[in-house]
Amino acid sequence: MPSPFLPLLRRLGSGAGVALFLLGAAPAAAATPEQVQDLGPKKGQWSLEYVGQFGSANGSDEGRQHSGELYYGISDSLVIGGETQLSYRSGPLVNRDGLFFDYDSVIALFRFSDAEKDPIGAGLWLQAALDTDGEVARLETRFILEKKSDAWRTEANAMLRRVNEEEEEGTLLAYSGRISHALAPNLWLGGEASGQAARISGFKREPLDSGHYLGPSLAFEFQLGGRAEAQLGLSYLHRIDEDEGLRNVAQLSAQLRF
């Protein structure tokens, strides 16, 4: 399994232009729960994140994704970063069961308003992903809405994605969202939904396996001293459509901002 973050850092500079001018993809075309993205770290702040999926698809572990993300707040209106994604693959088509490298990517997030100070926070998130050959494999543009208060938190994402991965080539719409209520100081309970909403074009050789997921989520936050803060999250997502694929997925997240 190639080391993910060294190639990512080498490609941040060369891939940034692609991310700003092209629209399209990031998670795989096969149906999995979508991540819920927020508006990123504040100005001068770093954010290191992990999101991993644990579950089964009718007895198979195929398709579960694990990603590492790194962001930095350049200003109140711009965040830059990158992501490395791995997928668990198994079965007769791979030489071994385990994690395989999917892509490195560069990300630019433009914030138009603040989730705490303004009536609603909004931003545009652009991503360009490169595969092991250095080819642009996926492109994505994501519109993010976020609102934070002492009692409630809401995040909503709408994604336009272009996928160019082996047999999977096409453009689709996807969505994700979460609403949470404060149970106690630093403890949040809520619900999460996500899925692939519609095929726009392509996916002729390998049809798009769209899926829709719904389930509860729990998050715990704590301070680490100074500006550093951490968040641990757990979602349990059930696929509510009838197609085959990942049926029940536990999604674990860990975030460190400093």
8 Å CB contact between 195 and 59: no
Question: Quick one: pLDDT at residue 88?
Answer: 82
For 200, other C-beta atoms within 10 Å of its C-beta total 14
8 Å CB contact between 65 and 32: yes
Q: How many Å separate Cα 199 from the centre of its chain?
A: 19
CA atoms within 13 A on the CB side of 74: 10
- CATH number of the domain at 218, please: 2.40.160.40
Domain containing residue 84: 5-257
Query: Exposed, middle or buried: residue 170 (CB in 10 Å: 0-12, 13-18, 19+)?
Result: buried
Q: Which long-range contacts (CB under 8 A, 24 or more apart) does 90-98 make?
A: 90/60, 90/61, 90/62, 91/60, 91/62, 97/61, 98/1
Phi, psi of 13 (to 5 degrees): -70, -50
Question: Quick one: pLDDT at residue 100?
Answer: 85
- With pLDDT > 90 as the criterion, what percentage of the chain qualifies? 63
> pLDDT band for position 56 (50/70/90)?
low
The number of distinct structural domains making up the chain is 1
Whether 48 has a pLDDT exceeding 70, the answer reads: yes
Closest CA relative to residue 82, chosen from 40, 111, 145: 40
**For residues 228-239, average pLDDT:** 95
Mean of all residue pLDDT scores within the chain: 85
Question: Quick one: pLDDT at residue 247?
Answer: 82
pLDDT in tens, 171-218: 999 999 999 999 999 999 999 999 999 999 998 887 888 889 999 999
> pLDDT band for position 134 (50/70/90)?
confident
- pTM of the full structure: 0.83
Dihedral of alpha carbons 56, 170, 12, 75, sign: negative
